[in-house]
Chain A
Amino acid sequence: AQRVTQPEKLLSVFKGAPVELKCNYSYSGSPELFWYVQYSRQRLQLLLRHISRESIKGFTADLNKGETSFHLKKPFAQEEDSAMYYCALSRGGSNYKLTFGKGTLLTVNP
């Protein structure tokens, strides 16, 4: 079975502060990990995927297979980063369904 855990339901930081949104997963195979973001009243949008190892809007995430984690980080948070963030896992098999965490609501205060 595959499971994604986002331990923080809410995270509040000040503008310019570093931010880390935690994600841990449980899966016995080689998963594909993603971060999706949902800004107020907008659709779920892909932010990052682990296989591309890219930085989007200053965010990075590294897959740590030893700790089964895929934490999302940004060194200097901006007010426009305020949104709901979902970590998701796909087992990479023939159907590629996503298993989501419960999400973390990030609020960046001025």
Chain B
Amino acid sequence: EPEVTQTPSHQVTQMGQEVILRCVPISNHLYFYWYRQILGQKVEFLVSFYNNEISEKSEIFDDQFSVERPDGSNFTLKIRSTKLEDSAMYFCASVQTGKGQPQHFGDGTRLSIL
């Protein structure tokens, strides 16, 4: 069964550095998402992406964050200047169409900011 894959599984970065988290969604999926989960808290929506543009973003997704689909397969989340509070598990998800279809999640990237 096809899966969403995320790399790296764990990223350790100094505060203020840029970080790029990578995701390869399932190949025939059209909608892509990033979520994050701070330790001990719930999974929170960050951004959704469709047809090569952001379709919705949360209040968390400020100017420090950006997403890109640089080619036909990768979907990336960039944090320009990381803060301590960006430490979290970041999940990528994708879905084939929209209404009623379940989102498929990757294993996540654990981001640790020092």
Report A's interface with B, CB cutoff 8 A: 32, 34, 36, 42-46, 49, 51, 86, 92, 94-103
Q: Is the CB of A94 within 8 A of B55?
A: yes
**In whole angstroms, what is the CA distance A91 to B20 when docked?**
29
Closest Cβ–Cβ distance, residue B52 to chain A (whole Å) = 14
Closest Cβ–Cβ distance, residue B90 to chain A (whole Å) = 12
Q: Specify the main secondary structure of chain A where it touches its partner.
A: loop
Which residues of B (89-114) have their CB < 8 Å from a CB of A?
91, 93, 95, 98-108
Hey, what's the 0/1 contact readout for B37-68 against A, CB within 8 Å counting as 1?
00001111100101000011000000000000
Residues of A within 8 A of B100 (CB): 32, 49, 51, 92
Contact of B45 among A34, A51, A98 (CB under 8 A): A98
7 contacting pairs across A/B (C-beta < 8 A): A46-B103, A92-B98, A92-B99, A96-B101, A98-B103, A100-B43, A100-B44
Which residues of B (69-104) have their CB < 8 Å from a CB of A?
91, 93, 95, 98-104
Residues of A within 8 A of B103 (CB): 46, 96, 98
Report B's interface with A, CB cutoff 8 A: 4, 31, 33, 35, 41-45, 48, 50, 55-56, 91, 93, 95, 98-108
- Known A94-B55, A96-B31: A44·B48 in contact at CB below 8 Å: no
Residue in chain B with minimal CB distance to A102: B42
Q: Is the CB of A100 within 8 A of B99?
A: no
Q: Is the CB of B42 within 8 A of A97?
A: no
Residues of A within 8 A of B95 (CB): 96
Residues of B within 8 A of A45 (CB): 105
Contact of B48 among A95, A99, A100, A102 (CB under 8 A): A95
